[in-house]
Structure formats: C-alpha cells, structure tokens
Amino acid sequence: MKTDSEVLNAENAVQDVIEKYQKFVNPLQAALLKIGGFDHIETTASGCVITDESGHEYIDCLGGFGVFSLGHRHPFVVQAVKDQLDRIPMSSKTFLNKPLADLAEMLASITPGNLQYTFMCNSGTEAVEGALKIARMATGRTEIVSTTGSYHGKTMGALSATGRDLYRAPFEPLLPGFTTVQWNDIDAVRTVVTDRTAAVIIEAVQGEGGIRLPSDDYLPAVREICTRNGALLIVDEVQTGLGRTGKLFAVEHWGVVPDIMTLAKALGGGVLPVGAFVSTEAIWDKVFRENPFIHSSTFGGGEAACAAALAALHIITTEHLDQRSAELGSYFLANLISLQKENPDILLEARGLGLMIGVEFLDPDIAKLVIGSLANRGVVAAYTLNNPNVIRIEPPLIIEKGQIDFVLEAFRAALNDARQLLTLLD
Ligand SMILES: Cc1ncc(COP(=O)(O)O)c(C=O)c1O
C-alpha cells in the first residue's frame, strides 16, 4: 500500500511531465494520452511488464511496435551492453570495429539466400532510406514501387514509399519516381514494374497497415516479376523480422529471398536503437566498390549498438524464439478468433502470424474505447498506424501462457465495458 504522500508525489510527478509535454514536447499528444488513459509515466519495465509511477503493472501487448521481442531489459542484452560500455561504447570510426564485424557475419548466416553484406544504422526509416538508395545506385534506375497501406517510415524517402495519405499529404511533393499499387494485387505489380523500375519495396506482412497477410502466391509472384524485369526486391522486415511472425524472417513463410532486407526494432534487443539493411555481394559491389563511404552514418554500427544486436540475435536463435512465437501465436490467435465469433457486432476479424496479431473492429471509435479499457485493466495495446480499426497484439516473444490468458480475459472484459458504454449512450 502506498502512503498518502507517496500517492500525492506520484500524481504530482505525472502532472509535471504532462505540463512539460504541453509546453515543450507535443501538446496534442499530451491531450490524447490523457483521454486514452495513458497519462502515466513508464517508470520501470522488466520482461513483459511495464510499471508506472504508482506501481500499477501492465502486460505489454504493444511491445514497442515490435521492439520488445525479448521483453524489457533482457538481462543478457543489458549485460552485453554494460560490458561494451566499460570497454568502448562508440569508437572513433578510424580503426576496426569488432562487434560490427561479428554482427555482420551473424546476420549473413541467418538471413535467407545470398544476403551477405550489412550496413548498420539507427532506425527503421534509415534502413529503408539506405535500401532505396542502394537500389537506385545498383540498378541505375530511379522508379520505386510500393503498396497501399504500407508503412516504411517518415523520413522523405521512406515516406515516399509509405502508403497512407494522412502522413504524406502535408509534406508533398515527395520524391519523384514513386508509384503505389494495391497491396496483395499481383496484376497491379505486373502492370507497373518495367525496365525502369529500380525496386519494389514491400512488407511480407503489413504491420501498420493492419496486420494484413498476403495471399500465398503474392510474394513469390512479386519476386518473379522483379527478377524478370531486372528490378530489385526490397523486403522491409523492420517489424516482422527476427522471429515475430513465427519464422526468423517473414519472407521465409513463402520461400522468398529478397535482394535487400531492412531490419530494426527488435534488432537492438529492446535495449538500444539499431537498424540495418542487408544485401548481396553483387549489389554491394556496385554501390561501394568505388567509394566505401558513398553511404555512411556517424552513429550507425557503434560498438554498444552492435553488442546489443549480437546479444539479441544470440538469444533469439539459441532459445528458438521464432518457434515460441509460432506456438504461442497460434494459441493466442485461436482464442481471439473465438472472441470475435462471440462478438460479431463489434469485431470483424482476428488474424495474424506468430505473435503478430491484429483484431479488426467494425468501428475505430470502439477500438479506441477498448484500448483505454485494456489499459485500465493492466494491458497495453494500440491500433495500427495506417488502420485505426485494428488493435495490434505484439507482445514480447517471451510472454508466458498465463500472461496471454490474463490478456484474453482483459480483452473480453474490455469488450463488455465498450458494449455497456454504448448501451448507455443509445
Ligand atoms: C515495416 C516498417 N518499416 C519501417 C518502419 C520505420 O521504423 P522507425 O520508426 O524505426 O523509423 C516501421 C515502423 O513502424 C515499420 O513498421
């Protein structure tokens, strides 16, 4: 039990942070967090649980939008980073960087096909920027094809490939040469990909688009269309990568090997921000042969970041978190499908792959009510950025079955809360 003065201190701390958000960070964000019931400070976190300033605990089913595959503060990753901090966290970049070399070797060994060379950066959008740049340079072409509903980041190049007008319109004109085609439509890709196309960029499973899975023939067909036209296939595994969908990489569900793969989010083990793009020897040769610094990053590939990524990959591969994701994801999804069947007037569909699950609502406002009610009941979830009808469930891959059951109960109760509120409003 907290004393009255502890409760008061906690409330004052929240008020102080909100005021600073209002004055110095983002006033509308502060207001939205308040309305949504998220006006609490993430004070500590461990495993699948976030604790706020008052000691309330929440099971993290948002997982930092895919960052926390290993949960929060995984001890092995934290220790690896601490060890690296005590030696050399960032280097002068003049000499050799051993963690970078080890990490690149590790990525070459686990990524599919002949993906071999890695460039390290600091975020998903940077990984996409780099991928787009090397695709243009390696092919000598400029056109890029992406899909509706896609999310590749918010810097200018990645935004030019992102398929939601809400985020694009205020910044237009975006980069020339970008075309968007209907997601999961093979004919649409066939129509636009030509000998002027540098690359098609695609998520194997759309994350922010609403956890949308492609039909089984889609990715193999896109691969074939790219190959036939001499265009490169960039698969953006920033959210799907490293076990999230039940395989190490989502493309493996369809046996597809991209020419360039982007990674971020879970790559830093939930401890440090790390992004990367990985490609083939042939493409690397075309891009970096004459100038090894044609693309570079001051912070990318820093020793501490690479140590975090190496430790994360060690845990993911040795503890087979991809398989765990597949098994627990099937259990979670089966139960959410039952919940959908019990509530067809509110829920349209539950779908997903591994622990990348989306629950689609008929009405986005009800989805928002349910998110708020889940928070009150000790579960953190959020809607997908390009599709507010869909609540995403992306917990750490280390989640326990008992925690999944807790979330399912909370979901059931949150649906009832929403139903009751709607009855009152009728
Ligand atoms: C598939 C995909 N690509 C790229 C990004 C951008 O990553 P970041 O927010 O680290 O820039 C995201 C972020 O959600 C993503 O889901």
Flag whether the pTM goes above 0.85. Answer: yes
Mean pLDDT score of the chain = 96
User: Does the beta carbon of 236 lie inside 6 Å of ligand 1?
Assistant: yes
Q: What is the pLDDT of residues 241-288, one digit of tens each?
A: 999 999 999 999 999 999 999 999 999 999 999 999 999 999 999 999
Atom of ligand 1 nearest to the CA of 265: 10
Cα 260 to Cα 285: distance, rounded to the nearest angstrom? 13
Nearest-CA residue for atom 8 of ligand 1:
124
DSSP structure string for 170-186: GG-S--TTEEEE-TT-H
| 2 vs 224, more confident | 224
DSSP structure string for 213-278: PPPTTHHHHHHHHHHHHT-EEEEE-TTTTTTTTSSSSGGGGGT---SEEEE-GGGGTTTS--EEEE
**Ligand 1 center to 264 CA (angstroms):** 8
Nearest-CA residue for atom 4 of ligand 1:
152
User: Does the beta carbon of 123 lie inside 6 Å of ligand 1?
Assistant: yes
**Ligand 1 center to 126 CA (angstroms):** 9
Place 3 in a pLDDT band, splitting at 50, 70 and 90. Answer: confident
- Locate 232 and state its tokens: 């490169």
User: Does the beta carbon of 124 lie inside 6 Å of ligand 1?
Assistant: yes
User: Does the beta carbon of 151 lie inside 6 Å of ligand 1?
Assistant: yes
User: Does the beta carbon of 264 lie inside 6 Å of ligand 1?
Assistant: yes
